[in-house]
Amino acid sequence: MSDQLQTNLGYTFKRHSLLKHAVTHASFVHEQKLNQSDSNERLEFLGDAVLELCISDFLYHRYPDMPEGDLTKKRAALVCESSLANLARSLSIGTFILLGQGEATEGGREKDSILSDVLESILGAIYLDGGLEEVRALILRLYEPIADKALNNKKDYKTTLQEYLQKTSHETAVYTIIKETGPAHKKLFTAQAAHKTKILGTGKGGSKKTAEQEAARMALKGLKVSV
Protein backbone atom coordinates (compact mmCIF):
# COMPACT_ATOMS: atom_id res chain seq x y z
CA MET A 1 0.00 0.00 0.00
CA SER A 2 1.13 3.57 -0.61
CA ASP A 3 4.16 4.75 1.35
CA GLN A 4 2.83 8.30 0.92
CA LEU A 5 -0.37 7.55 2.81
CA GLN A 6 1.66 6.09 5.68
CA THR A 7 3.84 9.21 5.65
CA ASN A 8 0.73 11.39 5.78
CA LEU A 9 -0.56 9.37 8.73
CA GLY A 10 2.77 9.36 10.53
CA TYR A 11 2.42 5.63 11.06
CA THR A 12 4.08 2.66 9.33
CA PHE A 13 2.07 -0.53 9.21
CA LYS A 14 3.61 -3.86 10.12
CA ARG A 15 0.74 -5.60 8.33
CA HIS A 16 0.27 -3.65 5.12
CA SER A 17 -2.80 -5.71 4.25
CA LEU A 18 -4.66 -3.94 7.05
CA LEU A 19 -4.14 -0.54 5.43
CA LYS A 20 -5.30 -1.85 2.06
CA HIS A 21 -8.35 -3.33 3.74
CA ALA A 22 -9.08 0.00 5.44
CA VAL A 23 -9.25 1.94 2.15
CA THR A 24 -11.29 -0.67 0.25
CA HIS A 25 -14.80 0.71 -0.27
CA ALA A 26 -17.84 -1.53 -0.67
CA SER A 27 -18.37 -0.24 -4.24
CA PHE A 28 -14.93 -1.60 -5.23
CA VAL A 29 -15.70 -4.94 -3.59
CA HIS A 30 -18.99 -5.13 -5.47
CA GLU A 31 -17.50 -4.28 -8.88
CA GLN A 32 -14.59 -6.66 -8.40
CA LYS A 33 -16.96 -9.42 -7.18
CA LEU A 34 -14.98 -9.86 -3.96
CA ASN A 35 -16.32 -11.13 -0.65
CA GLN A 36 -18.32 -8.60 1.35
CA SER A 37 -15.85 -9.02 4.22
CA ASP A 38 -13.13 -7.55 1.95
CA SER A 39 -14.67 -4.08 2.32
CA ASN A 40 -13.67 -1.68 5.09
CA GLU A 41 -17.06 -1.74 6.85
CA ARG A 42 -15.99 -3.92 9.80
CA LEU A 43 -12.84 -1.84 10.33
CA GLU A 44 -14.98 1.31 10.22
CA PHE A 45 -17.18 -0.15 12.97
CA LEU A 46 -14.10 -0.81 15.12
CA GLY A 47 -12.48 2.54 14.36
CA ASP A 48 -15.64 4.41 15.31
CA ALA A 49 -15.52 2.84 18.79
CA VAL A 50 -11.78 3.47 19.19
CA LEU A 51 -12.18 7.10 18.13
CA GLU A 52 -15.00 7.74 20.59
CA LEU A 53 -12.99 6.24 23.45
CA CYS A 54 -9.84 8.22 22.66
CA ILE A 55 -11.71 11.50 22.15
CA SER A 56 -13.67 10.99 25.38
CA ASP A 57 -10.44 10.39 27.30
CA PHE A 58 -8.77 13.38 25.63
CA LEU A 59 -11.63 15.76 26.44
CA TYR A 60 -11.99 14.46 30.01
CA HIS A 61 -8.37 15.35 30.79
CA ARG A 62 -8.09 18.49 28.65
CA TYR A 63 -11.15 20.18 30.15
CA PRO A 64 -11.21 19.10 33.83
CA ASP A 65 -13.92 21.61 34.80
CA MET A 66 -16.26 21.05 31.85
CA PRO A 67 -19.63 19.46 32.77
CA GLU A 68 -20.77 16.19 31.20
CA GLY A 69 -23.30 17.83 28.90
CA ASP A 70 -20.73 20.18 27.37
CA LEU A 71 -18.22 17.35 27.02
CA THR A 72 -20.82 15.36 25.10
CA LYS A 73 -21.54 18.28 22.76
CA LYS A 74 -17.85 18.91 22.13
CA ARG A 75 -17.22 15.23 21.43
CA ALA A 76 -20.13 15.18 18.99
CA ALA A 77 -18.69 18.20 17.17
CA LEU A 78 -15.27 16.59 16.92
CA VAL A 79 -16.37 13.17 15.68
CA CYS A 80 -19.22 14.25 13.38
CA GLU A 81 -19.09 13.28 9.72
CA SER A 82 -18.01 16.69 8.43
CA SER A 83 -15.17 17.01 10.97
CA LEU A 84 -13.87 13.55 10.12
CA ALA A 85 -14.12 14.26 6.40
CA ASN A 86 -12.12 17.47 6.76
CA LEU A 87 -9.41 15.62 8.69
CA ALA A 88 -9.37 12.96 5.97
CA ARG A 89 -8.89 15.70 3.36
CA SER A 90 -5.98 17.13 5.35
CA LEU A 91 -4.32 13.71 5.04
CA SER A 92 -5.21 13.39 1.32
CA ILE A 93 -6.98 10.11 2.09
CA GLY A 94 -9.36 10.46 -0.86
CA THR A 95 -6.49 9.89 -3.28
CA PHE A 96 -5.87 6.40 -1.90
CA ILE A 97 -9.39 5.00 -1.58
CA LEU A 98 -10.17 1.93 -3.66
CA LEU A 99 -13.53 2.83 -5.20
CA GLY A 100 -15.77 1.27 -7.80
CA GLN A 101 -15.77 3.12 -11.12
CA GLY A 102 -19.35 4.27 -10.67
CA GLU A 103 -18.73 5.74 -7.24
CA ALA A 104 -15.49 7.35 -8.39
CA THR A 105 -17.27 8.96 -11.35
CA GLU A 106 -19.86 10.42 -8.96
CA GLY A 107 -17.15 12.18 -6.95
CA GLY A 108 -16.88 9.57 -4.22
CA ARG A 109 -13.36 10.64 -3.26
CA GLU A 110 -14.77 13.95 -2.01
CA LYS A 111 -17.95 12.72 -0.32
CA ASP A 112 -18.01 13.40 3.40
CA SER A 113 -19.68 10.06 4.11
CA ILE A 114 -16.97 8.04 2.36
CA LEU A 115 -14.03 10.08 3.64
CA SER A 116 -15.23 9.92 7.25
CA ASP A 117 -15.82 6.18 7.06
CA VAL A 118 -12.39 5.52 5.56
CA LEU A 119 -10.65 7.59 8.22
CA GLU A 120 -12.43 5.58 10.91
CA SER A 121 -11.46 2.38 9.09
CA ILE A 122 -7.83 3.46 9.11
CA LEU A 123 -8.03 4.16 12.84
CA GLY A 124 -9.44 0.67 13.33
CA ALA A 125 -6.61 -0.78 11.25
CA ILE A 126 -3.95 1.08 13.26
CA TYR A 127 -5.53 -0.18 16.47
CA LEU A 128 -5.26 -3.78 15.24
CA ASP A 129 -1.75 -3.27 13.88
CA GLY A 130 -0.11 -1.28 16.64
CA GLY A 131 -2.45 -1.15 19.61
CA LEU A 132 -4.36 1.54 21.44
CA GLU A 133 -1.43 3.85 22.19
CA GLU A 134 -0.41 4.08 18.54
CA VAL A 135 -3.90 5.01 17.37
CA ARG A 136 -4.33 7.37 20.33
CA ALA A 137 -1.15 9.20 19.29
CA LEU A 138 -2.51 9.76 15.77
CA ILE A 139 -5.90 10.90 17.07
CA LEU A 140 -4.24 13.42 19.39
CA ARG A 141 -2.10 14.77 16.54
CA LEU A 142 -5.22 15.28 14.46
CA TYR A 143 -7.49 16.71 17.12
CA GLU A 144 -5.35 18.80 19.47
CA PRO A 145 -5.06 21.71 16.99
CA ILE A 146 -8.84 21.89 16.44
CA ALA A 147 -10.27 20.90 19.82
CA ASP A 148 -10.83 24.41 21.19
CA LYS A 149 -12.52 25.60 17.99
CA ALA A 150 -14.69 22.55 17.44
CA LEU A 151 -17.93 24.06 18.70
CA ASN A 152 -17.35 27.68 17.77
CA ASN A 153 -16.61 26.96 14.11
CA LYS A 154 -19.26 24.35 13.49
CA LYS A 155 -21.42 25.67 10.63
CA ASP A 156 -25.17 25.32 10.66
CA TYR A 157 -26.03 25.38 6.97
CA LYS A 158 -29.77 25.00 7.62
CA THR A 159 -29.81 28.18 9.70
CA THR A 160 -27.77 30.05 7.10
CA LEU A 161 -30.12 28.94 4.33
CA GLN A 162 -33.18 29.95 6.35
CA GLU A 163 -31.72 33.39 7.07
CA TYR A 164 -31.07 33.86 3.36
CA LEU A 165 -34.57 32.77 2.32
CA GLN A 166 -36.23 35.01 4.90
CA LYS A 167 -34.88 38.05 3.10
CA THR A 168 -37.37 37.51 0.29
CA SER A 169 -39.96 35.05 1.59
CA HIS A 170 -41.97 34.12 4.65
CA GLU A 171 -41.89 30.44 3.71
CA THR A 172 -39.27 28.20 5.27
CA ALA A 173 -37.12 25.55 3.60
CA VAL A 174 -38.63 22.06 3.73
CA TYR A 175 -36.40 19.00 4.15
CA THR A 176 -37.40 15.55 2.96
CA ILE A 177 -35.55 12.25 3.28
CA ILE A 178 -35.95 10.77 -0.19
CA LYS A 179 -33.75 7.71 0.11
CA GLU A 180 -32.42 5.40 2.81
CA THR A 181 -29.87 2.68 2.03
CA GLY A 182 -27.47 0.37 3.84
CA PRO A 183 -27.71 -2.00 6.80
CA ALA A 184 -29.31 -0.94 10.07
CA HIS A 185 -25.99 -0.16 11.76
CA LYS A 186 -24.71 1.93 8.85
CA LYS A 187 -27.54 3.77 7.15
CA LEU A 188 -26.95 6.32 4.39
CA PHE A 189 -29.68 8.94 4.06
CA THR A 190 -30.37 11.23 1.11
CA ALA A 191 -32.18 14.49 1.83
CA GLN A 192 -33.62 17.25 -0.35
CA ALA A 193 -33.99 20.89 0.59
CA ALA A 194 -36.90 22.62 -1.13
CA HIS A 195 -38.50 26.05 -1.06
CA LYS A 196 -41.88 26.81 -2.60
CA THR A 197 -41.81 23.36 -4.28
CA LYS A 198 -38.44 24.14 -5.92
CA ILE A 199 -35.65 21.70 -5.04
CA LEU A 200 -32.63 23.73 -3.99
CA GLY A 201 -30.17 21.02 -2.99
CA THR A 202 -29.61 17.34 -2.30
CA GLY A 203 -27.23 15.84 0.24
CA LYS A 204 -26.20 12.54 1.79
CA GLY A 205 -25.13 11.61 5.29
CA GLY A 206 -24.90 8.90 7.89
CA SER A 207 -27.82 10.43 9.80
CA LYS A 208 -30.94 12.33 8.75
CA LYS A 209 -29.60 15.47 10.41
CA THR A 210 -26.27 15.25 8.55
CA ALA A 211 -28.03 14.61 5.24
CA GLU A 212 -30.24 17.67 5.77
CA GLN A 213 -27.20 19.83 6.60
CA GLU A 214 -25.50 18.63 3.42
CA ALA A 215 -28.63 19.37 1.38
CA ALA A 216 -28.67 22.89 2.85
CA ARG A 217 -24.97 23.30 2.05
CA MET A 218 -25.56 22.29 -1.57
CA ALA A 219 -28.54 24.65 -1.75
CA LEU A 220 -26.38 27.53 -0.53
CA LYS A 221 -23.73 26.59 -3.06
CA GLY A 222 -26.32 26.61 -5.86
CA LEU A 223 -27.61 29.98 -4.70
CA LYS A 224 -24.01 31.26 -4.58
CA VAL A 225 -24.34 32.19 -0.91
CA SER A 226 -21.04 32.47 0.94
CA VAL A 227 -20.76 30.25 4.04
DSSP string computed for 4-51: HHHHHHT---SSHHHHHHHTB-HHHHHHTT--GGGSSHHHHHHHHHHH
Which residues participate in catalysis according to the annotation?
Answer: 48, 120
Spell 173-197 as b/e; 16+ CB within 10 A means b.
Answer: bebeeeeeeeeeeeebbbbbbbbee
Cβ atoms of 10 and 138 closer than 8 Å: yes
| Separation CA 92–CA 97 (nearest Å) | 10
